[in-house]
Amino acid sequence: MDPFLTLSGTALARLIRERGALSVEIVEAHARRVREVNPRVNAMVANRFDLARAEARAADLRVAREDPASLPPLLGVPCTVKECFALTGMPNTGGLPSRVGHPATRDATAVARLRAAGAIPLGVTNISELCLWMEASNPNYGRTNCAYDPGRTSGGSSGGEGALIGSAASPFGVGSDIGGSIRMPAFFNGVFGHKPSGGLVPNTGQFPCTEHGLVRVLTTGPICRKAEDLYPLLRLLAGPDGIDKGCTEMPLSDPATVSLEGLDAVSVEDDGLLSVSEDLRAAQRRAASCLAARGARIRVERVPALARAILMWTATVATGGESTYLSLLGDGRPFNLGFEFLMWAAGRGRHTLPALGLGLIEAISSRFPPRFGPLLEETAALRADLARRLGPGGVLLYPSYPEPAPRHNKPLLRPINWIYTGIFNVLEMPVTQVPLGLNDRGLPLGCQVASIPGNDHRTIAVAMALEQAMGGWVVPQPRR
């Protein structure tokens, strides 16, 4: 494999800046890798390779002419972008057929910030329909496969990002997360993903996007093959843009300031409702042992309230927004749910079954609205309980999902497994998904590292330590 394909974005930027390699070489190596793996994973849904080559040539000219100290931090480094983010000239459908043929006319805030830092987007990557399901599949682009086994899901909704980065076709990308959409794909594809503290990074320029009480539940963050990219990318993405009302100015500390000596780490191995596979439990225990060897104080605990996490997430989302899911499916037009189910049953469906199922759940619940007040109180109580357990500087180790990457369509049989990630969205806590090697079937293992809001640097510091101790991302040798 081309050595460029195993380096971090930070290392690639340094190579370019110090004239150890040309941006055109690095961009071309990743474009070749995309062409090589995409027939297997179906992750990149539209490319801009010609534009990327031109931008790489321009980057190399800047390196030749300018003082290295004056160059943008990611000058000439390729990256990828989740399709729900606007990238000028690229599709921005959100997986809806009705939005095909209307490319983005400007960049989303996160994309604009990466490009201002010198990063070069190679293209946009696959998603689940309206970004609300565990598999990256939609009528426009089909289904994305896991980087390690094409018979398994890449996760959703940032499944295209996870699969390409896990396949060594992109050093990093930008994703969004309202219930685990950064962390599940990162976990299933063996890479790092960070869900920031609620309100740290603006969500402007996404479709779909949240509103009102959900603006801090949806988060924008990085997915990377190397942990050393997490903090530099988060620092570039963070801060108000004057548009997203949920994004506020908050301090962002450097992971280098975090010492593991004396760090309080609480390990919770399941939520008390959904069982976790033994290989994931064992991997989390190994991670805890690695932290203990560096001086961390490990406590294994149970948090009974987590068994009601799905109810808490549902209550928060149901009461926080104004637009309905069915209105989003209709994209401004009336949506006939019964007709669309008939079309799907006849093999002529214009929407995925998970999307129609979510619409049906919404339609039924609107007729029999539950009382969400007590659940919102439970959510606040859980937030306070975790803050008490962790203290101002502690971290929580928690499974990323009950099992390694499941086979395609299996999530339909266990439709709430994503709540292992989703609960942290409504708690607005920062969380980093950390790869922890492979199991005996060659599938990625991992766990989440969470902390109280504002402690993004602590979860990233722990991720970097675990990468050093346990190896981090492993180049896949996928089954065919």
For the annotated catalytic residues, the residue numbers are 82, 157, 181
Token look-up 């983010």 returns 85
Counting every residue, how long is the chain? Answer: 480
Q: What are phi and psi of 281, to 5 degrees?
A: -60, -45
Which pair of tokens denotes residue 388?
Answer: 């008490």
Residue spans of alpha helices (H) in 203-269: 230-237
Is the peptide bond prior to 208 cis by the omega test (within 30 degrees of 0)? yes
Query: Are the beta carbons of 194 and 456 closer than 8 angstroms?
Result: yes
CA R_g for the chain:
21
CA angle 445, 447, 449 (to 5 degrees): 155
> What does the alpha-carbon distance between residue 34 and residue 79 come to, in Å, rounded to a whole number?
11
The amino acid occupying position 472 is: G
- Sequence-distant (≥ 6) Cβ neighbours of residue 443 within 8 angstroms: 146, 148, 149, 152, 404, 405
| Contact (CB, 8 A) for 378 and 433 | no
Lookup: tokens for 357: 């199922």
CB 340 within 8 A of CB 325: no
